[in-house]
Amino acid sequence: MMTEAAALDRITRAGPFRGFPGLLGVELRVWFPWRVLFLIVAGLSVFALIYVPWRGFEVNQLGPLMIWFLTFWIMMLLVSTVALTEGAVLGEIERGTASWLVAMPIARPAVILAKFAAAAMGLAVTVFVPGAAAYPVLADASERGITDFSVQEVFELAEIPIGQWGAYTRLPSWGTYVAMLLSLWALLVFVAALMMFLGSVVRSRTAVFGLGLGAAGIVFASAFIPGLASSATPAGIARAVIDIAQGKEAALMAPVMGTLLASGAALVLAMWSFNRRELT
Amino acid sequence: MTVPAVEIRQLKKRYRKVEALRGLDLTVDQGSVCGFLGPNGAGKTTTMKILMGLIRSSSGWAAVLGDDVRDASLQARARVGYLPQDPVFPSSQTVRSVVASVARLYPGHPRGSELRRRVDDLIDRVGMTDKARRRVRGLSGGERQRLGVAQALVGDPDLVILDEPSAGLDPMGRRNMLALIEEISSQATVFYSTHILDDVERISDTVVMISGGRAVAHGSLDEILTVSESDYAVRIRGETSGIHDRLRAEPWVGNIDIRRYAEIEDWRIRLVGDSAADRLVPLLVSDGACDVIEFHLSDRRLEDAYLELVGADDGD
């Protein structure tokens, strides 16, 4: 045990991050194992629900399979992130556990930071595990799609443009695929940071949930709006992910950097707001 | 000279249109057990929340163990254990994991087997060893309070602030809680709020009474109980109307409260002025129509003092 003076000195030096490791431990127990397990199973289920009937069709094409999988998976992850983080701050304030926590020798910003870090870690696992598990199956579908020449001929005879929905959708390389998953994770991290901010400033959980869901919906829908798609915004990530799924080239750097910056800003605002909030 | 455990000067707090604290002054010396008394809405919980940095004062100054709660709240909280009113803990965690989680939030906390030993000691100290593996959601109100005390003690605090620690407890739970507070007081200053005056008389050595956001009495229990030494109890027999009228006519006699039991009457006489008592005795014995059987300073209980001090302030 350190002396009291040394302990107090450590508190002073730790500043706004005082208590972060201990709080992170508490918050990780919120996400691991059950929440993360649930999200992994849900992600795999989405893939299975799309892939299994797909195999029954005579047309085995990669493009539609990836599009449907990623669309539903992203939607599921966005809604889940909103649902699982809407009460992270405001729920604790309402229940009284926030008062209990901040009466300890911890800095308030560390509470928000720990919640965000735990959510980011949980979401990383929920993105990469089902994403990585899906890749070999997508590769298999890709090979069978490409070798299915009759399909190609049918498309050509019918003068249907091949590429976007055709049999020749290229399977993204493993590196591109991982970059795509990283981008998707950055998108979810942005939503989590946004929820922390909303939970710190809004007084109603229903409003936090509604605003979060609305924001996620706008981000997702914006992916299909030309102009926003290439911008350095979270919507740009959604667009880029869909482009990659269609075998197109997509610039991920700008939207990912923009999204991470927006996440940082939301997080700083959340910490500032929570630091000032009275826990009556 | 040691700094006070709690020092508050002209503390004010306003919630929109409600003025919860209106210039509160109080001092709690280190090593004392200070009961913080007051009616609902008097400002007790608000004061404690300001001390713990949960809310900010509108004006005034407060310090805990010498640390200003505005500028050095973190340092102050490292040396203070706090039990909130209606404590809420993560419902899915066990008693042991709650205490261990709190322990890990303190700087320089023990690790490994030492941490486990410390947690088990605390759980044992509050009498919850057999419930250490039980989840919070399965605890009764009294057990939750005891868990609250355990987590308040985890940082080995110099000051323990307890907000209504025995509220909602059954008689046995209340007795156990008082015993626990007495035990804590051997190692730390205890500042606790309550409505239960008997508890204060039993375990406190200092009392602060608050009403309408201000302290209306402040001092040792003895000082509070003898705040008015001009109350005298007189047991009297015989024809008393004459002496009663004569006393009522004297300007140094305040109030006379009379209770009759057959031929005996118990009077509680309030005198005004320092030398009034010297005049009372000769007047009483000079009346030949009645006999004074007993005469002594009135035994005041905390309840009397509370009703007198807080009741008087309620009209403000």
Q: Which residues of A touch B106 (CB under 8 A)?
A: 7, 104-105
Question: Is residue A147 within a helix (H) or strand (E), and if so which, with residue range?
Answer: helix A108-147
When the pLDDT of each residue in chain A is averaged and rounded to a whole number, the result is 84
Q: Does A279 sit within 8 Å of B105, measured CB to CB?
A: no
Would the pLDDT of A179 be above 60?
yes
How confident is the model at residue A225, as a pLDDT? 78
How confident is the model at residue B257, as a pLDDT? 86
Question: What is residue A2's three-state secondary structure?
Answer: coil
How confident is the model at residue A138, as a pLDDT? 80
Would the pLDDT of A50 be above 70?
yes
Mean pLDDT, range B162-169, rounded to an integer: 89
How confident is the model at residue B9, as a pLDDT? 96
Would the pLDDT of A246 be above 90?
no
How confident is the model at residue A17, as a pLDDT? 85
How confident is the model at residue A149, as a pLDDT? 45
Distance from CA of A92 to the nearest CA of B (A): 9
pLDDT classification of A273: cutoffs 50, 70, 90? very high
Q: Which of A8, A19, A97 sits opposite B75 (nearest CB)?
A: A8
Q: Which of A7, A12, A19 sits opposite B105 (nearest CB)?
A: A19
pLDDT classification of A186: cutoffs 50, 70, 90? very high
**Domain regions of chain B by residue span:** 6-225, 231-299
Locate tokens 């007790």: which residue?
B44
Query: Cα separation of A145 and A142, whole Å?
Result: 5
Locate tokens 């009703």: which residue?
B307
How confident is the model at residue A148, as a pLDDT? 46
Q: Does B110 sit within 8 Å of A97, measured CB to CB?
A: no
Mean pLDDT, range B139-160, rounded to an integer: 92
Would the pLDDT of A63 be above 80?
no
Would the pLDDT of A219 be above 70?
yes
- Write down the pTM of the prediction: 0.82
Q: Does A97 sit within 8 Å of B78, measured CB to CB?
A: no
Q: Does A2 sit within 8 Å of B53, measured CB to CB?
A: no
Residues counted in chain A: 280
Q: What are the angstrom distances between the C-alpha of A254 and each of A129, A152, A234, A250, A267?
A: 25, 35, 10, 10, 20
Structure tokens at A201: 């400033």
Q: Which residues of B touch A280 (CB under 8 A)?
A: 15, 49, 54-55
Chain B residue closest in CA terms to A93: B88
Which of B91-100, B122-131, B294-303 has the lowest average pLDDT?
Answer: B294-303
How confident is the model at residue A249, as a pLDDT? 80
CA A23 centroid distance within chain? 22
CA atoms A236, A238, A240, A246: torsion sign: negative
| Candidates B16, B94, B105, B121, partner chain A, best to mutate (most A CBs within 10 A) | B105
How does DSSP assign B176-222, residue by residue?
HHHHHHHHHTTTSEEEEEES-HHHHHHH-SEEEEEETTEEEEEEEHH
Answer for the pair A101, A279: CB distance below 8 angstroms, yes or no.
no
Predicted ipTM > 0.90: no
Pairs of residues, one from chain A and one from chain B, whose beta carbons lie less than 8 Å apart? 87
Rg (CA), chain A: 22
Q: Identify the CA nearest to B25 among candidates B226, B209, B165, B222.
A: B209
Would the pLDDT of A3 be above 70?
no
Which of A24-38, A134-148, A157-171, B74-88 has the lowest average pLDDT?
Answer: A157-171
Q: Which residues of A touch B50 (CB under 8 A)?
A: none
Q: Does A97 sit within 8 Å of B90, measured CB to CB?
A: yes
Mean pLDDT, range A16-25, rounded to an integer: 89
Would the pLDDT of B315 be above 60?
no
* DSSP single-letter state for residue B136: G
Distance from CA of A270 to the nearest CA of B (A): 17
* DSSP single-letter state for residue B94: B
Is any Cβ of chain A less than 8 angstroms from the Cβ of B53? yes
Stronger pLDDT, B166 or A209, i.e. the higher one: A209
Distance from CA of A31 to the nearest CA of B (A): 13
Q: What are the angstrom distances between the C-alpha of B180 and each of B63, B149, B166, B175?
A: 26, 9, 11, 9
pLDDT classification of A57: cutoffs 50, 70, 90? low
| Partner residues linked to B235 by β-bridges | B266, B294
Structure tokens at A94: 């309402």
Distance from CA of B201 to the nearest CA of A (A): 29
For B220-237, give one letter per residue: b (16+ CB within 10 A) or e.
ebeebbeebebbbbbebe
B217-258 per-position pLDDT tens digit? 888 887 777 655 577 889 999 898 899 999 989 888 888 888
User: DSSP alpha helices (H): ranges in A148-252?
Assistant: 149-157, 174-201, 205-222, 234-245
A81-114 per-position pLDDT tens digit? 999 999 999 999 999 889 999 999 999 999 999 9
How confident is the model at residue A103, as a pLDDT? 92
Structure tokens at A240: 């880029």
Would the pLDDT of A163 be above 80?
no
When the pLDDT of each residue in chain B is averaged and rounded to a whole number, the result is 88
Would the pLDDT of A143 be above 90?
no
Answer for the pair B189, B31: CB distance below 8 angstroms, yes or no.
yes
Distance from CA of B197 to the nearest CA of A (A): 26
Mean pLDDT, range B53-62, rounded to an integer: 94
| Candidates B47, B88, B114, B144, partner chain A, best to mutate (most A CBs within 10 A) | B88
Cis peptide bond upstream of A255, omega within 30: no
Q: Does A100 sit within 8 Å of B89, measured CB to CB?
A: yes
Which of A4-18, A152-166, B114-128 has the lowest average pLDDT?
Answer: A152-166
Mean pLDDT, range B46-75, rounded to an integer: 92
Question: Is residue A146 within a helix (H) or strand (E), and if so which, with residue range?
Answer: helix A108-147
How confident is the model at residue B312, as a pLDDT? 59
How confident is the model at residue A114, as a pLDDT? 96
Would the pLDDT of A167 be above 50?
no
Query: Cα separation of B18 and B15, whole Å?
Result: 5
Is any Cβ of chain B less than 8 angstroms from the Cβ of A10? yes
pLDDT classification of A203: cutoffs 50, 70, 90? very high
pLDDT classification of A165: cutoffs 50, 70, 90? very low
Would the pLDDT of A35 be above 90?
yes
Q: Left, alpha or beta for B235 (phi > 0: left; psi -120 to 50: alpha)? A: beta
How confident is the model at residue A155, as a pLDDT? 57
Percent of chain B with pLDDT over 90: 52
pLDDT classification of A209: cutoffs 50, 70, 90? very high
Q: Does B55 sit within 8 Å of A279, measured CB to CB?
A: yes
Which of A35-49, A239-253, B200-214 has the lowest average pLDDT?
Answer: A239-253
Query: Cα separation of A22 and A277, whole Å?
Result: 22
How confident is the model at residue B154, as a pLDDT? 93
* Burial class (CB within 10 angstroms; exposed 0-12, middle 13-18, buried 19+) of A226: exposed
Give domain B6-225's CATH number out of 1.10.8.10, 3.90.1150.10, 3.40.50.300, 3.30.2010.10: 3.40.50.300
Query: Cα separation of B100 and A92, whole Å?
Result: 19
Would the pLDDT of A216 be above 90?
yes
Q: Which residues of A touch B58 (CB under 8 A)?
A: none
Which residue type, as a one-letter code, is found at position A162?
A: I
Which residue type, as a one-letter code, is found at position A229?
A: A
Distance from CA of B263 to the nearest CA of A (A): 57
Would the pLDDT of A228 be above 70?
no
Mean pLDDT, range B94-117, rounded to an integer: 91
| Candidates A34, A97, A100, partner chain B, best to mutate (most B CBs within 10 A) | A100
Distance from CA of A104 to the nearest CA of B (A): 6
Residues 92-131 of A with CB under 8 A from B: 95-97, 99-100, 102-107
Percent of chain A with pLDDT over 70: 80
Q: Which residues of A touch B52 (CB under 8 A)?
A: 103
Mean pLDDT, range A254-268, rounded to an integer: 95
Q: Does B105 sit within 8 Å of A12, measured CB to CB?
A: no
Question: Is residue B265 within a helix (H) or strand (E), and if so which, with residue range?
Answer: strand B264-271
Would the pLDDT of A137 be above 70?
yes
Structure tokens at B186: 């051997």
What do you get for the CA distance between the two ends of chain A, in Å? 34
Q: Which residues of B touch A23 (CB under 8 A)?
A: 105
Question: What is residue B80's three-state secondary structure?
Answer: strand
Is any Cβ of chain B less than 8 angstroms from the Cβ of A19? yes
Query: Cα separation of A235 and A217, whole Å?
Result: 10
Query: Cα separation of B19 and B258, whole Å?
Result: 39
Stronger pLDDT, B151 or B279, i.e. the higher one: B151
Stronger pLDDT, B25 or A9, i.e. the higher one: B25
Query: Cα separation of A84 and A89, whole Å?
Result: 11
| Candidates A99, A101, A115, partner chain B, best to mutate (most B CBs within 10 A) | A99
Is any Cβ of chain A less than 8 angstroms from the Cβ of B88? yes
Q: What are the angstrom distances between the C-alpha of B124 and each of A95, B26, B92?
A: 27, 34, 21
Is any Cβ of chain B less than 8 angstroms from the Cβ of A26? yes
A64-75 per-position pLDDT tens digit? 777 888 889 999
Say which residues have a Cβ less than 8 Å from residue B236's Cβ, sequence separation at least 6.
Answer: B243, B264, B265, B266, B267, B284, B290, B291, B292, B293
Mean pLDDT, range B57-76, rounded to an integer: 90
What do you get for the CA distance between the two ends of chain B, in Å? 38
Say which residues have a Cβ less than 8 Å from residue A172's Cβ, sequence separation at least 6.
Answer: A180, A244, A245, A247
How confident is the model at residue B2, as a pLDDT? 85
Answer for the pair B129, B160: CB distance below 8 angstroms, yes or no.
no
Domain B231-299 homologous superfamily, CATH: ACT domain (3.30.70.260)
Chain A residue closest in CA terms to B153: A104
Query: Cα separation of A20 and A14, whole Å?
Result: 9
Say which residues have a Cβ less than 8 Å from residue A263's Cβ, sequence separation at least 6.
Answer: A186, A189, A190, A192, A193, A194
